[in-house]
Structure 1
Amino acid sequence: MAYVFLVLAIGSEVFGTSMLKATDGFSRLWPTVACLGGYVLSFVLLSQAVKHIPIGVAYAMWSGLGTAAIVAIGTVFLGESLNLVKVIGLGLIVGGVVVLNLGGAH
């Protein structure tokens, strides 16, 4: 169940981050409410996940997979560029998450 909380936390964080541009610097009410709501829900779910998953592993997955998802969303929906350097950086992030998971299951 802890990994379900973690996946939901990642999804909530990705939603909140995806809403950042729409907030227009937190000057638009409903996108701001949605953004902050996504972040609050994400932290609530993450706090439940770390009851059973080591904090380093959970945070690495939360931040790393969230980063990868946001890059994909930015590329597909927000017209942001994706180049070889970004792909290599994402590969390193995901690789680091994998390594932490392999070493963190104690």
Structure 2
Amino acid sequence: MQLSRKEREMLSSDIQQEYEMLKKLGGWIRNGLVITAVFVALAIYGWSGMVDPLIPNAPEAFRTFSKWAGLIGSILFGLFTLLVFLAQRNGKKSVQRKIKLFDDSKKRKSSK
């Protein structure tokens, strides 16, 4: 496919913009995994019944709250992290296709 100079410049700026967004998604994935791990630890604490030296006389209501908050939070942030991961993966595929299109149009232009 033959691209004009203006189209190639637009494609180049689009590739750069998408690449910057993909880098930001990597940070979102990291933060999502950390928050998910915190909620999983909270749920484990609530369901385990272990005596914590930091809170030795934790009331049952606190444990009930922590296990349900941990479970709900870990499910929500786990799904969030999964969706962001899928968005990043699909974004990488999109950028690769655009780079290939850009390179192919450059090669065809130089071969003329």
Q: TM-score range by the shorter chain?
A: 0.3 to 0.5
For the pair shown, which has the larger CA radius of gyration, 1 or 2? 2
TM-score between the two structures when normalised by the length of structure 1: 0.37
Q: Report 1 or 2 for greater relative contact order, CA contacts < 8 Å, sequence distance ≥ 6.
A: 2
Q: More helix by proportion, 1 or 2?
A: 2
TM-score between the two structures when normalised by the length of structure 2: 0.35
